[in-house]
Structure 1
Amino acid sequence: MMKVLYNIIVLVLFICSPVMAERHPHILVNEEDKAAILDKIEKETWAKQIFNQTQERLEVYVERHQADPHWILDRYLMNRVPGKRYTHFISDKEGTRLIGYRGDAPVPTVRVSPHKRSPITAQGRAYVVPEIENLIPNDTSMTMNLLNPVTQQYERVDPQSYVAAINGRINVLAYEASVIYWLTGEERYAKFAADVLNQWVNGVVYQEPIDGPGRTGFLDIQTLGDEKEKPLVLAYDFLYPYLVKHDYSLDNYEKAFEKIAWTLSFRGYTGNNWFAAESSTLVAAALSLKDAQKRNYYLEFYLSRDTIVDGCGQLSLPSATKQWFTADGHWKEPGGYHNYPVSKLIEAAMMLENNGYQIFNKYPELLKAAYVMLKYSFPNLTASAFGDTGRPRQSIECLESAIKMADKYSLSILPDLVDAVKILENAGLYDRENTGITGVLCFLPKLPVVNTKGGKLWNRTEKLDFASCYLQRNGMDRQNGLMCVVQGATYNHNHSNGMSVELYGAGTVMGIDPGNGPTYEHPMHVEYYTQWAAHNTVVAAGSSTSLSPFRGGGGTKSIGAVELVSMEPLAGIKALSDEFSYTLTKYKEGATKTNQERLLSIVRIDEEHGFYVDIYRSDNKVSNDYLYHNIGDNVELYTVDGDIIELQSISSYPCVGKDSPGLRYFKSVRTTGCYGKGVVALFSAESLTPKHGYMKMWMPATPDVSYFTALSPEAKTAQAPYLHKPLPVVTMRMEKAADNPFVAVYEPTSDGLSGGVIKNVERIKIPDGVNGSALTVETKQGDIYIFASTQELLEIPVRGKKCCADWNIFAHTKDKNMIYVGSGTFAEDENFEIRAKKKGNFFLEYDQKHLLVRSNVPIEVIPKDKSVNEKLRGESYIDAGEKLFPLE
């Protein structure tokens, strides 16, 4: 019955599907495309450069192959010893490593990566993958001499995942050589590629997918690793005429390609990015099958049919776009995981488009995803690095593919895509010469000429709901732009970090999340990088951690989620003020039952200066540690007057019990002891280019606080040259932080201790019994900024200020006065009183000549000066919107 059902399904699919070309090539391009591609190489500098560089890189291998055809073949990692030409490979029950080998083929078989992770040195760094030239020919040992990058010594170790990495490099050479052969007709390139391909297929045809859990692959312990076979699948498509002409046996290819297609259809995770990352290899293998029924059967697992058993298999494109993309196209994992699965889904779709299917006009999510990373970028066009990730940035390849398809279907998104390219080009970050030989084959010769929106890509605020991630920005100038991010939630590849922030300044991300550790199972990753101590957050009772113990891997850490209380502007909404914005979030830290609240605000002073205000409440009655990590060479603490504060060295940071947050990893710890005066921390990053970078962290006088400095482990998210350097850390430690919340004002500058515009930061004492906080910031120019956060009417003992709102700012500058209210009902200064019947956002800006009013709710504006009231002509009740009144 099952066989009959199978035959019915594949027959229907065969009848309903586009006709697959029997000619070669057909996966990426067709024979008819060759003339246009050669013309592209001839006329377009970027394509010519790639073509020439590819030829130059291949030349040494191709030329050597003419005289010594065994050289490259002998360096391919194979099971060569008779009796040990394994055909069956057995994994442990977790799918981490191989524990057994069986079978003996009549020819050498391809070695399978014996472990899912890279080999790691005792110092926590990955060993260096050896160059092809340094490989021992016909090496059958299970260990290799690998270079330790720290000691610069060679050490005999298990290569683990490097087995597939090494063979993958040779596979890429074969693919590139096959393309050069197709374009030029020079058979020496074909001979090189065909011999690699022939040795590979004659071995793998005897091999079976790994015997193990659903995560295990065919030629790699993980299905993800089977992507390294895709270059050979593509090479076969270009080499086919040569293979036929020179009597290479073609009998084994159908079986080999189906093994790849079967493995990727029914194995690999569907609860993360794996299925998407495997999609282009699956589609390439399926398109290579000559049996039309089988070809269409496997293609359906990308096009429309899900195959999920115990969380493994494939999600089809319709399911993927519905379950794994946000409305604007962001993959629902950390930004560093966006480009990998999205690029493969797009690549698979491009292959299908080339074979008669229409994909991109039906799935706009793919086109949105192709440029969405720019939407969430800092002013240097990198994105936030929360979770298990490095510092992500926009993919050029995704953009190029999307532009070609949007142009093909004349879609309205095309101007946005081209606009994204122009943004990258203007920043010197878009180079088509980096798109490789596949770019030469598949991308347009020139970008379409369209009317673009002129860089209107960025909103003042954005949000990613799945990650409870909220960002604010003010200006996208690389050197002077400001942007901050607060986030924390339970999702795949998250970290246990509470309400963690990243801060941008002086041309780079200065206050950073650390990214992941050496591997997902390495003690440093499990005990530090994924834990509270590695992040810019607050540790409660020295014990903050996930609700269920984290023991390693790249999965989900159960920490609950940050909740948004209020935010101005809301994502996608026009801001009320050019100078101010804020987010107010709250969080219940489950392990210690601690209630926390964080208010983060941007204040723009002028085009070159601004600062961040951070107010963090945490009600744990044992202790609360406020942590801030900043890139740099060092950090020093100063008094408000600029005198250095002498610190006492201590053996370790104060920890509790087993130290779940990972505070024990702080080194070179120094402390002020209990210190009741104001403190200014200066983080110095003098190796930044083109200008030095500094972060001044102003901490107003607070009772019962101890300040610490330390060095934390390196972060993989830092800008060079700070990528592999320890991070300076400043912490504040106190009890009863809910009564006196942590307050820090961050000012990025390029001029050291004397730089910046802030002169002083002070707390404002508020009446007993009032639940709120207030502070004042004075600039060197004499401007005064008063900040207050309160849920009840608060009378501030400075110039008659009163307010009731989540966030209030009163600004007195030499040019104008401003009142800014976020989610509030009342504000009053010496000149105006503003009331709202329901909570809302409103902003007043006034000088001697004008009064500007903006709000998102109806408000009543009451001038205290009768002459001003007369000039308003009774218009004290103002509807939501904007109104400008002359005061002269």
Structure 2
Amino acid sequence: MYKRCKIVKLLKRHTCIGQLMLVTFLCCYTTVFSQTVKRPSIWVKPADKAIILNKIKTNSDINDYYKNFTKRVENDLKAYQNNKETYLKKLPWNYNDVKPSDFPPLHTYVSFDGKEREQQNTIMHYLQTAIDCGVLYFLTDDEQYAEYSGSVLFNISKGLLALPEPKENHNAGWLYTKDHLREAREIGAQLPIIYDFVYQYLNNNGKVYDLGQTAMVPYNFEDGQKIFRTYVDLALERGIINCNWPILESPSLVGNILALDDEQERNELLPYFLTINTKHQDALQKIANHYLEYNGDWPESINYSNGVNTFLTYLMTLLTKYDPSLHLGQKYPQILEALPKPYYMTYPNKEETILFGDGHRKYSPNYHAYETAYYLAKLEKQEQFVNIYGSLLNSNIAQGNYKRFQLGERSYGARFYNEPTKLLWFEPEIEGSVKDYPLPVTDELPFAGIVLQRNLSDNQNAEDDLMGFVGGGHYVHGHATGMFMELYGKGFVLGGKSGRTQYRTEIHENYYRLFASNNTVVVNGSSEGKGGWAGLEINTVEKIAVEPTPKTAAISPYNSFSITRFKDDKGEKTKALQERTLGIVRTSSKTGYYIDVFRSKSSLPNQYHDYIYHNIGESLRIDSGEKALPLFSDKNRFSNSRDKPWMNNKKAKHPGWHYFESIETSKPTSNNITATFTANKLNPAPIKMKAFILGAEDREYTSVLAPPTTEGPKPYKSAKTPTLVIRKKNEAWQNPFAVIYEPIKGNNGSIASVEEIKEDDIFKGFVVNSSLENKRIKQYIIIQDSKDTTFATSDKQIEFTGSYAVITLDEKENLSSVYVGEGSFLKFEDISIISNSGQSTSLFIDFKNTDLKVNTKHSITLKSNNSKAKIYN
């Protein structure tokens, strides 16, 4: 019989309009609160038990997993049973100034290193073991598991309640007093799961060990409910919004709401995750709308967006299990669509992903999240996602990349649910075809201004694949990069973003987050970010043209290109407009090169522009013709940012190039230059990046050693990075920075020479001569700053209206192929190609055989002196 009592206040929280509201309920003096839910109810329901046991019985892999899962808790269970007091005393209790009659509080923490981290790991170890034992109690009804889990829950709860309630408004934790964001993941989210699994034991007068009394006692339900309410309050009242914080706190928020025993209270609070925003917590509805606003992406760097996608998939699955009528998978399919995004952004070696903002380079497939998404899709009967994730999983299984039902190494923290839900949720069999997942030739992340290109070799060797991207934008955890570039070659990201170091360190904030750590252009020595997140706001790089259109089939097997544009105007001394053309040209299954044309001009007088390119390796050699370009010590060249003020996360020393060392600069020269970067530790043969740089009046070339590329290949993570800086005084638009990059394995590349194409002393492109297996080819690459700009050589051999074209001649200088990335008219000798609409189109024509191969986006007419005009659609 339940006894009624007075109305008590439970929880203060914001409503959607920011007003404070008191939630009240009728409690009872006995040990339980009124509830209609039958526990467990968070990860599983009682009806799931028979299904899971049948999986274990009938599937040998799951059976083996279950045995290993059970075995992992045996040592803790035995230690607890042998001496409960000794076992529980290993938790980090604080006995200072504690009366003998009082229960000791747990230690509190503001540090997460050294001894403190060891103590935190002990707490997380006990919590993880208690969750695992809770799962085993659910499956076996063996009360030894329930007693262990209940005792850990009881004593940690008592240790928390002995602490003062958190008082700070921002990110106040209970155990981690200044970091609820971490505590929510490492402590707060685990407690309600334990409670949910052992509730039936506790409610049926099951005893737990009380370290304070050194005796077995009934569980105190009222204390447990205080714990859950406190963690709900911390999530709703102490965080920040419009970033990943609300999602990282939500496993704690949702779990603790669902652990509350009063049905009305649960029903009132759950909308604070689903639909109602507070000043300190974004709801799922708002979070899901962000994906729609940002073209299907979560707008942060990949490791953060991947975490957001993973947690949301977990939470949507959990809540769909709890209440199938929510249909969260059907309501927010954009989250399931975004989950594989890190894979779509990988480099051809499949071990690294593109780097931007505070991200990491290393790529690890998110198989647990894929399995969870597959399970959710089955629950929601979403065949589209059953097929996508089924094929992703089965393809990786077939390739030997993934083994299901393997017990992972013991780990603690945010992914506490991985192993238990593997047992509880994963389907015994996966439906889905085994197939290769070819990555698109071009793709994009609009919120980060990123446009990427790939060209995979037909020999299926990742060493011979090509990939690069241009990007830059402002978002949480974004960097002030300008319009930056990365280049891949011979199996590695050779020309990459420098990476990151520990947050809040001087070099992280004043180098790794700023222009100088990127392959970009600095204007007047003053390019910077200003305002926004951490004072690093820059304009977002704008896509002007790209072929092929992202995620569509390529027009040409050998070519792709993009044009992007950027305003560098956050600094008062820049006022610049920039445009960057990045192209990929494949010349054989093993060879190819990148085209980088960077235009930059400022509206200010006395302008100058510095083109920066970092490449991993030991050395950089700069040559003019057949000789090394003389360089002279130039210690103060990049010192103007050294003495600027710095305020943590607010003001930085832009552009950050005072970290450059071993600075040596040439005298002004207008000669063509060749720069060779060499890395000897990646392969028995040296891996090189050779840069062919077109000359222009009064260019100055500087060799520096930049800080380490911390997200680069292992041999170079702590080594200084060879870096080239090219300075152009006056504008760099009509005669931009124009570079051909060729990745090389060994000592000899395929490019023999690079020449400039000009018209009226204005840059119009390159002539690239290559030697391929003793055969020579010549390529004319025409690059203009607008699709409506026209060009003609003096002999009228070539005429072009458009922004990008590649004309390839064979060893006999016969026309081999033509690629137009964006253009409306092209003439080469006696052959003319005309867009029938007069509008720009993209096209590729292979002339090697008499039976021409034509691929065009829009209708064109091909004319020749030797044949009739022909229309191709």
Residue 767 of structure 1 corresponds to: 760
TM-score relative to the length of structure 2? 0.82
Whether 1:810 and 2:807 are equivalent positions in the alignment is yes
CA distance in structure 2 between the aligned counterparts of 1:54 and 1:300, rounded to whole angstroms: 35
CA distance in structure 1 between the aligned counterparts of 2:626 and 2:122, rounded to whole angstroms: 55
CA distance in structure 2 between the aligned counterparts of 1:342 and 1:463, rounded to whole angstroms: 18
State the AA in 1 paired with 2:194: A
Residue 707 of structure 1 corresponds to: 701
8 Å contact 1:804–1:825 — kept in the other structure? Answer: yes
8 Å contact 1:222–1:268 — kept in the other structure? Answer: no
Whether 1:374 and 2:336 are equivalent positions in the alignment is no
- Deviation of 1:580 after TM superposition, in Å, equals 0.8
- Deviation of 1:458 after TM superposition, in Å, equals 2.9
8 Å contact 2:464–2:491 — kept in the other structure? Answer: yes
Equivalent pairs, count = 790
Deviation >6 Å, runs of 4+: 2-11, 640-643, 689-692
- Deviation of 1:745 after TM superposition, in Å, equals 1.7
Residue 110 of structure 1 corresponds to: 106
Residue number among 594, 597, 600 corresponding to 1:618 in the alignment: 600
CA distance in structure 1 between the aligned counterparts of 2:70 and 2:715, rounded to whole angstroms: 33
Residue number among 372, 383, 390 corresponding to 2:360 in the alignment: 390
8 Å contact 1:217–1:268 — kept in the other structure? Answer: no
CA distance in structure 1 between the aligned counterparts of 2:99 and 2:300, rounded to whole angstroms: 41
Change (3 A) 1:652 1:198: farther
CA distance in structure 1 between the aligned counterparts of 2:407 and 2:678, rounded to whole angstroms: 34
CA distance in structure 1 between the aligned counterparts of 2:389 and 2:543, rounded to whole angstroms: 31
Residue 518 of structure 1 corresponds to: 502
Whether 1:780 and 2:795 are equivalent positions in the alignment is no
Residue 801 of structure 1 corresponds to: 798
Residue 630 of structure 1 corresponds to: 615
| Structure 2 counterpart SS, 1:479 | helix
Change (3 A) 1:8 1:543: closer
Whether 1:319 and 2:320 are equivalent positions in the alignment is no
State the AA in 2 paired with 1:487: G
Whether 1:468 and 2:435 are equivalent positions in the alignment is no
Structure 1, 668-677 or 228-237: larger mean CA deviation = 668-677
State the AA in 2 paired with 1:405: L
Whether 1:265 and 2:230 are equivalent positions in the alignment is no
CA distance in structure 2 between the aligned counterparts of 1:59 and 1:812, rounded to whole angstroms: 72
State the AA in 1 paired with 2:771: K
- Deviation of 1:350 after TM superposition, in Å, equals 1.7
| Structure 2 counterpart SS, 1:338 | helix
Structure 1, 327-336 or 486-495: larger mean CA deviation = 327-336
Residue 541 of structure 1 corresponds to: 524
State the AA in 1 paired with 2:450: C
Residue 258 of structure 2 corresponds to: 287
8 Å contact 1:165–1:228 — kept in the other structure? Answer: no
Residue number among 738, 743, 747 corresponding to 1:748 in the alignment: 743
CA distance in structure 2 between the aligned counterparts of 1:446 and 1:835, rounded to whole angstroms: 58
Aligned pairs (5 A) from 1:570-589 = 570-589=549-568
Residue 694 of structure 1 corresponds to: 688
8 Å contact 2:767–2:781 — kept in the other structure? Answer: yes
| Structure 2 counterpart SS, 1:204 | helix
State the AA in 2 paired with 1:609: T
Residue 122 of structure 1 corresponds to: none
Identity rate, percent? 25
CA distance in structure 1 between the aligned counterparts of 2:740 and 2:86, rounded to whole angstroms: 62
CA distance in structure 2 between the aligned counterparts of 1:20 and 1:727, rounded to whole angstroms: 63
Residue number among 174, 177, 181 corresponding to 1:224 in the alignment: 181
Residue 179 of structure 1 corresponds to: 135
Change (3 A) 1:415 1:689: farther
Residue 203 of structure 1 corresponds to: 159
| Structure 1 counterpart SS, 2:598 | strand
- Deviation of 1:367 after TM superposition, in Å, equals 1.9
Change (3 A) 1:556 1:74: farther
- Deviation of 1:601 after TM superposition, in Å, equals 0.6
- Deviation of 1:169 after TM superposition, in Å, equals 4.4
Q: Runs of 5+ in structure 1 lacking a partner?
A: 12-18, 86-104, 119-128, 136-143, 145-158, 882-888
Aligned pairs (5 A) from 1:194-593 = 194-207=150-163, 209-220=165-176, 221-225=178-182, 226-229=184-187, 230-243=189-202, 244-246=205-207, 247-251=217-221, 252-306=223-277, 308-309=278-279, 312-313=280-281, 315-325=282-292, 329-357=296-324, 358-381=327-350, 382-391=352-361, 392-413=363-384, 414-425=386-397, 428-432=400-404, 433=406, 436-451=418-433, 454-455=435-436, 458-475=439-456, 477=460, 478-519=462-503, 521-548=504-531, 555=534, 557-590=536-569, 591=571, 592-593=574-575
State the AA in 2 paired with 1:212: E
CA distance in structure 2 between the aligned counterparts of 1:63 and 1:695, rounded to whole angstroms: 59
Change (3 A) 1:622 1:800: same
CA distance in structure 2 between the aligned counterparts of 1:527 and 1:383, rounded to whole angstroms: 24
Structure 1, 499-508 or 39-48: larger mean CA deviation = 39-48
Residue number among 95, 98, 104 corresponding to 1:80 in the alignment: 95
8 Å contact 2:407–2:419 — kept in the other structure? Answer: no
Q: 1:673-720, CA deviations, whole angstroms, 9 ceiling, x for partnerless residues?
A: 445444433333444379864333332344422323333223443243
Whether 1:603 and 2:594 are equivalent positions in the alignment is no
State the AA in 2 paired with 1:232: L
8 Å contact 1:280–1:348 — kept in the other structure? Answer: yes
State the AA in 1 paired with 2:833: I
State the AA in 2 paired with 1:222: D
Q: 1:506-528, CA deviations, whole angstroms, 9 ceiling, x for partnerless residues?
A: 22322222343311x22122211
| Structure 2 counterpart SS, 1:741 | strand
Change (3 A) 1:10 1:586: farther
Q: CA RMSD in A?
A: 3.4
Residue 147 of structure 1 corresponds to: none
| Structure 2 counterpart SS, 1:417 | helix
| Structure 2 counterpart SS, 1:278 | helix
- Deviation of 1:166 after TM superposition, in Å, equals 5.9
Q: 1:807-837, CA deviations, whole angstroms, 9 ceiling, x for partnerless residues?
A: 1211113596222223322211123122332
Structure 1, 185-194 or 829-838: larger mean CA deviation = 185-194
Residue 665 of structure 1 corresponds to: 659
- Deviation of 1:385 after TM superposition, in Å, equals 1.6
- Deviation of 1:203 after TM superposition, in Å, equals 2.3
TM-score relative to the length of structure 1? 0.81
Q: Runs of 5+ in structure 2 lacking a partner?
A: 1-7, 26-33, 208-216, 409-417, 645-652
Change (3 A) 1:515 1:291: farther
8 Å contact 1:546–1:557 — kept in the other structure? Answer: yes
Residue 211 of structure 2 corresponds to: none
Structure 1, 647-656 or 366-375: larger mean CA deviation = 647-656
